[in-house]
Copies of this chain bind each other. A is one copy, B any other.
Amino acid sequence: MITVSAPSKTNLQAKLFRGFGDPSRLGILDALRNGPLTVSEIVEATSLSQPNVSNHLGCLRDCGLVVAEQQGRYVTYHLSDDRVGELLALTESLLADVALGVYECTRYNIPRTEK
């Protein structure tokens, strides 16, 4: 039995944060800050496998963080909103001051990097 939890503001906001909280997705979003990229360009930029990239892009697309645009047999993705970039910039700024603590925090680990 699958329990659906209430879509409270906090739950949705946390889910939004988790959208940014995976290194693969974050790498994809970061790559898109410089402008639109096709899936294969993202694959190359992130060194992730193609199915993995497509899965994450589907997630980001559903969440409204990126927008897809079909061009021939390529699909080009770009950030959906300026605030996505702002969010990345703001956390970069914050990280500059808390990086050491974040690194040492052992309650949760950084997922091992994989393809």
Q: A residues bordering B, Cβ < 8 Å?
A: 3, 5-7, 9-23, 25-27, 30, 55, 58-59, 62-65, 80-81, 83-84, 86-88, 90-95, 97-108, 110-113
Contact = CB atoms under 8 A, between A and B. Distances in A.
Contact of A107 (B59, B64, B98, B111): B59
A59 B13 CA distance: 19
Chain copies in the assembled complex: 2
Nearest to A56: B107
From DSSP, what is the main secondary structure of chain A's interface residues? helix
Contacts of A17: 17-18, 20-21, 26, 91
Given A5-B111, A87-B91, A12 B55 contact: no
Contact of A95 (B13, B23, B99, B111): B13
